Amino acid sequence: MQKNNIPVFLMMVSVLMLGRFFENWGKRMESFGTNMKMTVNGKESLEYERYVMRDDDRIELRF
């Protein structure tokens, strides 16, 4: 009986939300206050801690 070897390629996809990023640094985004504004790549975003970070994002928080 012949054995067939089939190569398997796995790609790990990880999702990192902005809120989790700050939690890793011991901060909660709520601590920045209620007047916080966020832009991602120059466009306003209301996702805040739910924003899924992507490579090359430019995220600005103003508080």
Is residue 47 domain-resident? yes
Q: What confidence category does residue 61 fall into, taking pLDDT thresholds of 50, 70 and 90?
A: very high
Is residue 10 domain-resident? no
Is residue 57 domain-resident? yes
Is residue 23 domain-resident? yes
pLDDT tens profile 33-55: 999 999 999 999 999 999 999 98
> For residue 43, what are the domain limits?
18-62
Read off the pTM. 0.75
Is residue 11 domain-resident? no
Is residue 55 domain-resident? yes
Is residue 6 domain-resident? no
Is residue 52 domain-resident? yes
Collect contacts of 59-63 with beta carbons under 8 A, ≥24 apart: 59/18, 61/32, 61/36, 61/37, 62/36, 62/37, 62/38, 63/32, 63/33, 63/35, 63/36, 63/37
**What is the tally of structural domains in the chain?**
1
